[in-house]
Amino acid sequence: MSQQRIEVTLAGQKITLATSAEHEPLLRAACTLVDEQIQLAINGGNRSIERASMMAALKIAGDLIKLQTASQHAPAQSASSHSNPEEIARLQNEIHTLEDQVDALMQTLSLPGSPRPIVP
């Protein structure tokens, strides 16, 4: 899998990320979702990129936990007819990769000391 660089915008800042061609659509979709959630947090009154990013991460994590809980409580028959262990493992790996990339982005957006204000 060869790596390529893509440019995305999060919280109004252009960021370059490395990804494979195979994962690029998923990464772009994840960045769009994260950016939308950050913008919602900013519009909700958060005054710093760091705080808005944390609120977005918590919202997305909460949504993920809800989906995981719902899938665990779904009847075994419907779960087995819609997925297989290899697909679940592949999706979990992609989730972990995206979580790592979000962590790296959070470090990129964070400054030592006080939070950066968001400039409209």
* 118 domain residue, yes or no: no
* 50 domain residue, yes or no: yes
What tens digit of pLDDT does each residue of 24-68 get? 999 999 999 999 999 999 999 888 889 999 999 999 999 999 988
Question: How far, CA to CA in Å, does 100 sit from each of 40, 46, 110?
Answer: 22, 24, 15
CA torsion sign, 7 to 15 to 98 to 34?
negative
Residue 52: per-residue pLDDT: 92
Q: How many domains does the chain have?
A: 1
> Please, are residues 53 and 106 in contact by the beta-carbon 8 Å criterion?
yes
**Domain containing 33: what range?**
3-70+83-109
Residue carrying the six token digits 């982005």: 105
pLDDT(74) > 80: no
Share of the chain above pLDDT 70, in %: 77
* 13 domain residue, yes or no: yes
* 116 domain residue, yes or no: no
Neighbours of 82 (CB within 10 A): 10
pTM beyond 0.85, yes or no: no
